[in-house]
Amino acid sequence: MKKTLLTTASVLMLASGVAQAEDKTLTISVYAFAQDEFKTIVYEPFEKKCGCKLVVETGNSVERLAKMEEHKASPVVDMAVVSMADALAASRKGLIDKVDTAKLSSFNKLYDIAKDPNGDGMSVGYTFYATSIVYRTDKMKIDSWGDLLKDDIVSHVAFPNVTTNQGPPALYMLGQALGTDAPDLKTPIEALGAKKDKVVTFYVKSSQLVQLMQQEEIWAAPVGRFSWAPFTKLGLPLAWATPKEGQTGGMNVMVVTKNSKNRDLALEFMDFWLSTEVQTKLAEKLIDSPANAEVKVSDEVANNITFGADTAKSLKLIPSDVALDYRDKWLSEWNSKVGQ
Q: 170-188, pLDDT tens digit by residue?
A: 999 999 999 999 999 999 9
Domain co-membership, 118 together with 185? no
Distance CA 203, CA 165 (A): 11
CATH code of the domain covering residue 326: 3.40.190.10
Domain membership flag for residue 312? no
Number of domains in the chain: 2
Domain membership flag for residue 41? yes
Q: pLDDT of 92-125, one tens digit each? A: 999 999 999 999 999 999 999 999 999 999 999 9
Higher pLDDT, 106 or 163: 106
pLDDT classification of 22: cutoffs 50, 70, 90: low
Domain membership flag for residue 313? no
Q: What is the pLDDT of residue 19?
A: 44
* CB burial string 107-127: b at 16+ within 10 A, e below: bebbbebbbbbbebebbbbbb
Domain co-membership, 33 together with 86? yes
Q: Which domain holds residue 182?
A: 129-249+319-337
Domain co-membership, 29 together with 88? yes
Element (H, E) at 58: strand 53-58
For helices 186-194 and 167-177, what crossing angle results, to 10°? 90
Q: What is the pLDDT of residue 109?
A: 98
Domain membership flag for residue 259? yes
Domain membership flag for residue 157? yes
Domain co-membership, 89 together with 215? no
Domain co-membership, 223 together with 330? yes
Domain membership flag for residue 160? yes
**Amino acid (one-letter) located at 325:** D
Domain co-membership, 11 together with 98? yes
Above 60 in pLDDT, residue 5? no
Distance CA 328, CA 149 (A): 25
pLDDT classification of 30: cutoffs 50, 70, 90: very high
Q: Residues with Cβ < 8 Å from 178, sequence gap 6 or more? A: 146, 187, 188, 191
What secondary structure letter does DSSP report for 317? Answer: P
Distance CA 140, CA 118 (A): 37
Distance CA 185, CA 165 (A): 15
Percent of the chain with pLDDT over 90: 83
- Measured CA distances, 54 to 27, 32, 85, 160 (Å): 6, 15, 26, 36
Q: What is the pLDDT of residue 104?
A: 98
Q: What is the pLDDT of residue 227?
A: 85
